Chains A and B, each alone.
Chain A
């Protein structure tokens, strides 16, 4: 029997999940197709709206939106859509995130020892904000090489953060392999496993507090790499705070990022509650269109196509990282619908010479109209019932201006609302 829905969203990242959720709230029957693990496992878990505008650090992203170039996705959807996307985000994440009490950006310490402007931050991160004038101790683990706490502390001090920042490296208590993944530490803390230490054994939360205790000095807060539990992170932090007698926070980390994965889990829970049907594991490889409308897309399941029919489609397959935009030596393409992706013919014009230069490749993506419908090379709508959201959109280097999550939320929200509304007509 044919699979039929009102709205079909392709791509299970932040933009796709937001679009699916928003469309479902319009009362639509929604299908979310995702192929591989989403790129949220690479993401810090911070939700940035806009951190830099023309190289200037932005204190209030909402003030800066209007001055962005016309081609910017935020200009396409408008400032209200940015707020609406964030509001949906706040609703989904509830107590797990902070930052909705103000329009101002927060500055969060990164594991590389800089501070990063961001609009929403996990509650686990909140006590660590750089603008608080407090004595801070950063704690790293000697087998977790991605976070060198003494170095990060020196970087932060050199950046002039208020208060004092010290760093110390300790061994994670217990007999873990030198190459344990962060999830192994997190699980041990979730379960409060009993670990062997120098003189006997004790639960790992207590053992960790004990390992840090003697380094406290006069610290008013202690920051750990973001490995303090997956399921029970609140309990882990509370246990450490009560043992140490100070606030405990976490520093966002690179992949695999527990904060990014945690964010994904919150959205998936909301999707299930909203009745969104999720189909995962197979790529969309072809589609059927007539009269300038997409009729169905098909996933490839071991060589057999499975068609999914819908009235409205949302393309949220991500950018270069998630392969929503792909390339070979000759050209850059959007592989699902072959939407137009502007790019120079000569691939030696795709990059800047400096590592952090103004890379054209970072802006690769589809161009859209004000309703987020992809445009062809002549500026005409590709399909009447196809909208694009998130990283697949071009015209912006989200990494340089720190806007990736914000764009996903704002455009995901706008695309989902429009798609849902269209099916009601």
Chain B
């Protein structure tokens, strides 16, 4: 038996969630399926730059103009996901004057506020910039939290009637008579209170129109429908620093190149990036030279990065696309524009549209254009409201006040919790129980984690993404077990144990690219705390062999026995007197 929907969106990244929200707001019956959790693909693996458009002001002015317009929109509708840090394009002595002037003119052409400041002024804003700075262009770059953004879009879609199905991988696209009829999905064990289907079961979803919003994976999905989607996945590394060495987005002002941007993000900085085409977006090498290049090249711009502590690195794949026969060889030259592929026109296959290319900053605009297109196909009237309608959590600006006194939290925590939670802060943090900080690196309280777990269930990585818990210096060493304990008693000990192992392994994966100096020291400390103090590497409950408890010391012998040959009588005096107190 099949389930039915009007529109089926495949892919739970920013684009897919944006489309689902837009469709739902226009009254279309919508289902979104995602093979992992939300943000599982590229959205959860980017540097979190809210583009002013400055980066594209020379090479791609259409993208640049879209970026500044959408940046303005997101500051309105998603204020709780955005930090307007400002940005600098910094010129060093080796960098070309002519390019600097082109960049400035380009920004102005695209309506991007841009101001030239001296090297001295730039160093007043960012004291760790190298002394060599010649001058800089100041632009309204910012940092955006892609996780919160994605979740907010999906939540709003759900509130407007959409079905959001995560951990549901498309195994087949159903095609009949040159018409896409829907998909078959396989459910995997989904965490939490969301109602998930039995793992391993399949479901047919019939849809009037299917949107392939799978980004770097669009080629694979297209192949299931028998069409070519020439997506060219390109990997890039992001290296996470332990603190905010800069508070402003710092770009190197030169034509193109790897390792030319530093984005402050919450309590950290992210260095980016490389741009290397890969065959398979699920399997590509994560290489040491990429991490070394981030540190070596960007320390030309901010010398302290050469000495600073790196806490982990991660990689993402860009969903680059160019029309067939363009033939660009260097992935950095491929346009960052997005493309709507109407397979009816293109491949004579009705009922499916693919969206490829593009970038997070313009996700809403892309979603709007796709939704216009889908609505036209479906014959649905109704205009887009996503540019005006705030996302959940963002609507009530008064909640961004300082909640310190009301919740009895110390100020940095109160402020940061309310920033993370937006207008939900009141509901989440108002608790009669003590609300201790569970993750001290990121100052995440138990109430906030409980709230996230209510949505994400046993998937602690999803809880991590919602709250940032375990994402600081210790990478879960001090807090992973505390976070996992919050699953109990709702979930049993075995489930809790598995969830902890998953979180701890995930944290380990990224640290492997930062294992020297301070972070190697931290890794050894984490190893000692988890393996020695807790003995978590040898959970007896996880092993098949039972322990023969009677082969082990059960305590010093009783005083009588000690008199018969125990080595130390004095040890038992207290045990002795105690027995008189209670004779049970």
Among listed A72-80, A239-247, A282-290, A372-380, interface-contacting one: A239-247
Q: Which of A97-105, A192-200, A417-425 contacts B (4 or more CB under 8 A)?
A: A97-105
Interface residues as binary, B492-535 with A (CB distance below 8 Å gives 1, 0 otherwise): 11101100000011011000100111001101110111111111
A26 interface residue (CB < 8 Å to B): no
Task: Find chain B residues with CB under 8 A from A106 CB.
Answer: 552-555
A328 beta carbon closer than 8 Å to chain B: yes
CB atoms of A178 and B436 under 8 A apart? yes
**B549 contacts A131, C-beta separation under 8 Å:** yes
Residue A138 at the chain B interface, CB threshold 8 Å? no
Q: Mark B410-448, 1 if CB is under 8 A from A, else 0.
A: 100000000000000000000001111110000000100
Within 8 A of B (CB), among A26-78: 42-44, 48, 51-52, 57, 59
- Asked if B528 and A159 sit within 8 Å, CB to CB, the answer is no
Establish whether residues B538 and A142, one from each chain, have CB atoms under 8 Å apart when the complex forms. no
Question: Which residues of the partner chain A approach B581 to less than 8 Å between Cβ atoms?
Answer: 241-242, 245
Chain B residue with Cβ nearest A142: B434
Count B interface residues, CB 8 Å.
74
Asked if A404 contacts B528 (CB within 8 A), the reply is yes
Chain A, interface residues (CB within 8 Å), range = 35 or more
Q: Taking the complex as formed, is A265 at the interface, i.e. its CB lies under 8 A from any CB of chain B?
A: no
Chain A residues, CB < 8 A from B497: 155
Smallest CB gap from A348: residue in B: B288
- Residue numbers in A under 8 Å from B541 (CB-CB): 113-114, 155, 158-160
C-alpha gap A215/B529 in the complex (Å): 30
- Tell me if A404 and B516 are in contact (CB < 8 A): no
Q: Is A1 an interface residue (CB 8 A)?
A: no
Question: Which residue of A is nearest B482, CB measured?
Answer: A145
Stretch of B43-51, B168-176, B266-274, B567-575 lying at the A interface: B567-575
Assembled-state Cα–Cα distance A346/B557 (Å) = 53
Query: Closest approach, in angstroms, between the C-beta of B406 and any C-beta of chain A?
Result: 14
- Assembled-state Cα–Cα distance A157/B568 (Å): 33
A254: B residues at CB distance < 8 A: 478, 529, 533-534
Pick the residue among B494, B496, B525, B552 that contacts A117 (CB under 8 A).
B552
Q: Within 8 Å of chain B (Cβ to Cβ): is A301? A: no
With an 8 A cutoff between CB atoms, is A280 at the interface? Answer: no
Residue of A with least CB distance to B295: A329
B556 at the interface (CB under 8 A from A): yes
Q: Is A154 interfacial (CB 8 A cutoff)?
A: yes
User: Contacts of B181 on A, CB cut-off 8 Å?
Assistant: none
Which residues 275-309 of B sit at the A interface, judged by CB distance below 8 A? Answer: 288, 292, 295
A417 to chain B, nearest CB (A): 22
Given A158-B494, A399-B527: A361 and B552 interface contact (C-beta under 8 Å): no
Tell me whether B529 and A145 are in contact (CB under 8 A): no
In the bound assembly, the distance between CA atoms of A155 and B536 in angstroms comes to: 11
Q: Are B568 and A171 in contact, CB atoms less than 8 angstroms apart? A: no
B488 within 8 A of A: yes
Best-surrounded residue of A234, A254, A326, A328 (most CB of chain B within 10 A)? A254
Q: How far is the CB of B260 from chain A (nearest CB, A)?
A: 20
Contact pattern, A 294-322, Cβ under 8 Å of B = 1, otherwise 0: 00000000000000000000000001110
Chain A to chain B contacts (Cβ below 8 Å), 29 pairs: A42-B525, A43-B533, A44-B532, A98-B555, A99-B553, A101-B568, A104-B552, A107-B549, A107-B552, A111-B533, A111-B534, A113-B493, A114-B541, A115-B547, A116-B535, A144-B436, A145-B485, A151-B485, A154-B492, A155-B497, A155-B539, A241-B582, A321-B524, A321-B528, A328-B517, A359-B527, A361-B515, A399-B524, A400-B531
Residues of A within 8 A of B (CB): 42-44, 48, 51-52, 57, 59, 94-95, 98-102, 104-107, 110-117, 123, 126-127, 129-132, 142-146, 148, 150-151, 154-155, 157-162, 171, 178-179, 220, 234, 238, 241-242, 245-247, 252-255, 257, 319-321, 323, 326-329, 346-348, 350-351, 353-356, 359, 361-362, 398-400, 402, 404
